[in-house]
Structure 1
Amino acid sequence: MKKYSLKQFLAVSLLFAGAYTATAQDYLVNSLKNNKSENSKESFIFTDVINIENTPVKSQGSSGTCWSYSANSFLESEMIRMGKEPVELSQIYTARNAYIEKGKNYVRMHGAITLGDGGALHDVINMYKKYGALPQSEYTGLHYGTTKNKFAEMATINQGLLEAVVKNPNGTLTPSWEKAYVAVLDSYLGEVPETFKYKGKEYTPQTFAKEVVGLNPDDYVELSSFKDYPYYSQFVLMVPDNWSLDLVYNVKMNDLTDIIDHALEEGYTVGWAGDVSEKGFSWKNGVAYIPAKEYSEMTLEEREAIFKGPQKEMQITEEMRQEAFDNYETQDDHGMHIVGLSKDQNGKEYYIIKNSWGATNDYQGYMYMTKNFVKYKTTAILLNKGGLPKKIAKKLDIKQ
């Protein structure tokens, strides 16, 4: 499905302008706020098959932190699954810590690695393991009078600061650049409390993660599927937001949905990362699928009917999936949280997806995504290794 998306056009335009590059989700959440469809809920009749308990929908505001919102939502559902009282975790505490680690990598790599707001699902696990966690009530990241995240100015300053460090005007790096970088984060997001009280008890971020959240970061695995790497082995997922160069497990395309199905059946939710630029993805309609015909080949009537009830889908192959990734048609531009399974009036199955663009669409912040869309547009999934089918865990040499 060859196309030049709005996100690609914006990225090129802003690169030449030397400005902050808006993410796809940032653009969408601003342009589609409160823009509900006229007919989706009447045209699609969904019946839930599995709907796993999860915490209320949040909004990432004007920031590219979907990865932090989706994976922290996933951790909150993990707390519920384990019988714990869920805590709204501070998504911006996670993001702040990732900014620090990303800045270090940026300098070490002489600027030849991604900066900005973007990240991967595994970043939340990595930051939880290293820095612990804070409740949202203790660290909102709203430090200069805003009521929602608004990170463009901060990102531009951070970019300029680190570019100056990489240019190394002193001839050798000083020990002060990192303090200056962290000071910018403190100015915009607020300083991190060394200790805080939660329900009358004092914690540090590390003790709060251990004693209240109580999740083992080593229990979580990230998987993807690409033909150019050996199946059932690990590889570095080559997408810009994998700034930490983490390894993911490689499985076959159909394994992705088999794994998600099994996890949901066993009561585990799943973190999802992938591309949302397809014409068959509609936030306002709350539906994502792969139309049987390419949009450029549709008649006007067919285009107008694209979300007027269930439509036929294109059959996806591993070759199609790989080609779309190789041609930049599938990019790592958004992260969401899979919390259940539903069926439409024709019996077709859809995953129930929790988003972080606020309760602004037909389904109050949720949407329905077909398995074909997941097979075609997924860049990675994150789940507790206990949710893996035993035969897949054995092939991956993962002990459950």
Structure 2
Amino acid sequence: MKFTPFVLSAALLLTAQASFSQDNLVNSLKSNASENSRDGFKFTDVINLENTSVKNQGSSGTCWSYSTNSFLESEMIKLGKKPIELSQIYSARCTYVEKAKNYVRMHGAVSLGDGGSSHDVINMYRKYGALPQSVYSGLNYGTNKNKFAEMAAMTQAMLEAVVKNPNGQLTPNWLTAYTAAIDAYLGKVPESFTYNGKIYTPQSFAKDLVGINPDEYMEFSSFTDQPYYKKTPLLFPDNWSFDQVYNVQINELTDIIDNALKSGYTIAWATDVSEKGFSWKNGVAYVPQTEFDDMTDQQKADMFKGPKPEKAITPELRQQAIDNYNTTDDHGMHIVGLAKDQDGKEYYIVKNSWGTANDYKGYLYVTKNFVKYKTTCILLNKKGVPSDIKKKVGA
């Protein structure tokens, strides 16, 4: 994960020394903005798929859970169901328990903290079911927004103590103690609950009301150092579960997204947001043709005042950015549509989870070049994947 004076990365959010604060991230991104940017862009929707309201993940590194649960809510809409706001923190809480088990088994030699991946939400849904937000908010300690730093510091210290193995042999009680600490902050998981007058468990709620099939989803990325059309490890720190993804050509990433959107399916998108061409305040992300350090002061001030030329993105450029840590697993968002600017250039419409205090009320417009360059992974319903790509990967 990359840390610079410009931005704190937003996914490998906790280390032994520090914890992630979304407030710090958003404040740092505000410095990369142009005044009156919105006046310079004229976006026209091409596809805008139905999705639920923009949320705010607060001071927590749970973007991956917010974005993928938002994605599942759109999957419900696609199935013809009335969408239910799902508990993002329930998915995160279940992930923290599984991550702790993995951390201890690996003697601490694996990522810890708030960070996660889109597949974590799917995996937790399969194992633990789901809860509505109204039943499990995760706000169990007097705040109205997530604020996880204290919990993260405490639970990390607990796990580090377990790994040191002071008794010479682990007892089963460490997991009970760890889970109790998580529950003290986020709340205990109900064995059953009432929703709309009917009693459910997390598993029956997932089956009867959410209704998605966790086996219907596929993940893709693009690496030049791995065989194409084969499954490959997703070698980013937040892939603590060591899940594998399908490796495709760089242009096929956007081909898959385009086909999904045209077929009525949205996409859970994991990406790097620490680039100078990403502006949360202005709600635009692109890859400037000129390197930021080579720009004049005026060019820097005008970066988001209307469409600009972009750098050509090659597989080699993408891989180099991954290998030298310029592309890291910073953030998860939700691609919900496609738009064009006044010059006819296409942008993906992206839903974020940082509230609505930007130029587009919580959404961004992201160029295809940015997606090709900075995507770490995409997850989507396999029905949205082009048939030729499914054939290539043998799915």
TM-score, scaled to structure 2: 0.96
**1:226 maps onto 2:235 in alignment:** no
1:88–1:136 Cα contact (<8 Å) kept: yes
Q: More displaced, 387-396 or 35-44? A: 35-44
How far the C-alpha of 1:5 sits from its partner, in A, is 5.5
Q: Distance in 1 between matches of 2:235 and 2:10?
A: 22
Amino acid in structure 2 at the alignment position of 1:22: F
Structure 1 position 336 matched with structure 2 position 333: yes
1:298 matched to 2:295: yes
Structure 1 residue 19: Cα displacement: 2.7
User: Which residue number in structure 1 is paired with residue 186 of structure 2?
Assistant: 189
Which 4+ stretches in 1 moved above 4 angstroms? 2-12, 30-33
Aligned to 2:104: 107
Q: Alpha carbons of 1:72 and 1:10: their partners in 2 closer, same or farther (altered >3 Å)? A: closer
Matched, 1:163 2:157: no
Structure 2 equivalent of residue 315 of structure 1: 312
Alpha-carbon displacement from aligned partner over 1:241-294 (angstroms, at most 9, x marks no partner) = 000000100000000000000000000000100100110000000000000010
> Distance between the aligned counterparts of 2:385 and 2:208, measured in 1?
26
Q: Partners in 2 of 1:350 and 1:329 — Cα distance?
A: 22
Q: Where do 1:386-397 residues align within 5 Å?
A: 386-397=383-394
Q: In structure 2, give the amino acid aligned to 1:162.
A: L
* Map 1:265-276 → 2, pairs under 5 A: 265-276=262-273
Task: Identify the residue that residue 56 of structure 2 maps to in structure 1.
Answer: 59
CA-to-aligned-CA distance 1:192-247 (integer Å, 9 cap, x gap): 00000111110000000000000000000111000000000001111000000001
1:283 aligns with 2:280: yes
What SS class does the counterpart of residue 232 from structure 2 fall into?
strand
2:18 corresponds to: 20
Query: Considering only aligned residues, what root-mean-square deviation do their CA atoms show, in Å?
Result: 2.1
In structure 2, what residue type is equivalent to 1:95?
Answer: A
Flag structure 1 segments of 5+ consecutive residues without an equivalent. none
Quote how far apart the aligned CAs of 1:41 are.
Answer: 1.6
Letter in 1 for 2:114: D
The residue number in structure 2 matching 1:145 is: 142
CA shift for structure 1 position 7:
4.9
Tell me how far apart the structure 2 counterparts of residues 284 and 239 of structure 1 sit (CA, whole Å).
27
Q: Given residue 265 of structure 2, which amino acid in structure 1 is its aligned partner? A: Y
Aligned to 1:352: 349
1:239 is paired with a residue whose SS is coil
**1:258 and 2:255 correspond:** yes
Identity %: 67
1:94 aligns with 2:94: no
- Count of paired positions: 393
Distance 1:9 1:137 in 2: 30
For 2:266 and 2:29, locate their aligned partners in 1 and report how far apart those are by CA, in whole Å: 27
The residue that corresponds to 2:76 in the other structure is: 79
Q: Which amino acid aligns with 1:21?
A: S
Alignment partners' CA distance in 2, 1:30 and 1:297: 24
Counterpart of 2:42 in structure 1 is 45
CA positional deviation for 1:27: 2.8
Paired residue for 2:129? 132
Contact 1:37–1:362 (CA under 8 A) maintained in structure 2: no
- Mapped to 2, the partners of 1:247 and 1:183 lie a distance apart of 31
Q: Secondary structure at the match of 2:377?
A: strand
Q: Which amino acid aligns with 2:18?
A: Y
In 2, Cα distance between the equivalents of 1:302 and 1:57? 32
Distance 1:200 1:8, change over 3 A: closer
Name the SS for the 1:112 alignment partner. coil
1:287-338 deviations in Å (ceiling 9; x for gaps):
0000001001111111111111100000000000000000000000100000
Q: State the one-letter code of the partner of 2:119.
A: H
Secondary structure, aligned partner of 1:313: coil
Q: Deviations over 1:129-174 (max 9, x none)?
A: 0000000000000001000000000000011000000000001001
Structure-2 change in CA distance of 1:30 and 1:212 (3 Å):
farther
**d(CA) in 1 for partners of 2:385 and 2:131?**
29
The whole-number CA distance in structure 1 between the counterparts of 2:211 and 2:10 is 41
Show the counterpart of 2:376. Answer: 379
Deviations 1:372-392 (A, max 9, x none): 000000000000000000000
Letter in 2 for 1:58: K
Q: Distance in 1 between matches of 2:186 and 2:3?
A: 37
Check whether the contact 1:30–1:62 (CA below 8 A) recurs between aligned residues: no
**Conserved 8 A contact 2:220-2:247:** yes
8 Å contact 2:7–2:25 — kept in the other structure?
no
Matches of 2:133 and 2:26, distance apart in 1: 21
The Cα shift of 1:28 comes to 2.0
Q: Which runs of 5 or more residues in structure 2 are unaligned?
A: none
**Cα separation, partners in 2 of 1:351 and 1:161, compared to 1, 3 Å:** same
Residue by residue over 1:101-152, the C-alpha shift from the partner in whole angstroms, topping out at 9 and shown as x without a partner, is 0000000000000110000010000000000000000000000100000000
1:145 aligned partner, one-letter code: G
CA contact under 8 A between 2:44 and 2:340: conserved in structure 1?
Answer: yes
Distance 1:131 1:167 in 2: 29
Q: Distance in 2 between matches of 1:27 and 1:315?
A: 32
